[in-house]
Amino acid sequence: MIPRLSRSNVDRNALHRGDPVWLAEAWQRSHIVQVDPARNAVAATASGLRLIRASDDLPARRIFLGGDEEPFFAVITDLPEGLHLRQAHRGWTDRDLGLAAQALAMAQWHENHRFDPKTGAKLEPGLAGWELRADSGVVYPRTDPAIIVLIDDGQDSVLLARNVRAKEGRYACVAGFVEPGESAEAAVHREVAEETGLALDRVEYVTSQPWPFPSQLMLAFSATADPGQEIVLQPDELADARWFTEAEAREHVRGRPDVGWRGLTDVSVARFLIDRWLAGRSS
């Protein structure tokens, strides 16, 4: 099993980024992903990206996403009717999901890094959108590592939590950023202890997935904890946390409006971790 946003099958062809002649020719035959970082949205339908052909009417700032015989670029534009990436449906191909995640992450970086952090000078794009330059040097795309962990009790229940910023009835996995000078495993233990008061008995790495809202790389883990421990919430992070039985978890991820459970988008790594645990229970 691989998370949906981790299944990109387009070669990024990074060596082409420094070849302006090739890029100019490729632009003329390319497919364009339109992306709106302010809305976390892309031009798309329920079945996938709505790709367009190159045109002089498109914004001049272009980001090369990859491909060779079939090149792909992203342009940043206003998309009031765009589709939020969290709403990507099961019908989307791995290609479209990967391109959308890459385009949105790069667009977020461009929008959030307009000025040199050293001098305040305006940054200008280079290397097909993969650098931002000023006289003082080059700024490169950033990725912020974060952990997310599904905690089980070693038997038939998992701990799910509701973030204070989440809608009522939406429970997911404990998550948080990796701090400077900290390993991912240490971050799992620290975040769980800080947010729930639980000590973990087992921590195992599972997978990773990009989460471009705006720049996270989610490092996914599974863990086990003694359910007899008292749950002590960190009030500025979690509104609630409790143990869900296998049957409750199965119903929750898909949504139960009758009991107020909103479910989880199937492009989230939290949904992936819960579905993976449920599949293991079934087998």
Range with the lowest mean pLDDT among 65-69, 109-113, 236-240, 247-251? Answer: 247-251
Question: 91-100, 224-233, 244-253: which has the minimum mean pLDDT?
Answer: 244-253
Q: Work out the average pLDDT over 70-85.
A: 95
Does residue 177 surpass a pLDDT of 60?
A: yes
**The two three-digit tokens of residue 106, written as one number:** 């790069």
One-letter amino acid identity for 190? R
Q: Examine the pLDDT at 258 and tell me if it is beyond 80.
A: no
Instruction: Tell me the average pLDDT across 45-68.
Output: 91
Region 66-87: mean pLDDT is: 94
Tokens of 68: 């060779």
Do 56 and 111 lie in one domain? The reply is yes
Tell which wins on pLDDT, 86 or 273: 273
pLDDT-derived band at 259, boundaries 50, 70, 90: low
Last residue of a domain, one of 77, 108, 139: 139
User: How far is residue 228's CA from residue 207's CA, in Å, rounded to a whole number?
Assistant: 28
Print the domain residue range for 73: 4-139
CA distances from 247 to 155, 241, 283 (A): 13, 17, 15
Q: What is the pLDDT of residue 56?
A: 77
Q: Which two tokens stand for residue 37?
A: 């970082």
Which helix (H) or strand (E) covers residue 131, if one does? strand 131-134
pTM: 0.93
Structurally, the chain folds into a number of domains equal to: 2
Mean pLDDT of 128-143: 94
pLDDT of residue 283: 62
Q: How many C-beta atoms lie closer than 10 Å to residue 76's C-beta?
A: 22
Compute the mean pLDDT over every residue in the chain, rounded to the nearest whole number. Answer: 93
Whether the CB-CB separation of 49 and 43 falls below 8 Å is answered with yes
Confidence of residue 1 (pLDDT cuts 50, 70, 90): confident
Beta-sheet pairing, 31-36 with 72-76: parallel
End position of a domain, from candidates 139, 172, 197: 139
CA distance 79 to 37: 9
Place of tokens 């996403």: 65
> For position 89, which CATH number holds?
3.90.79.20
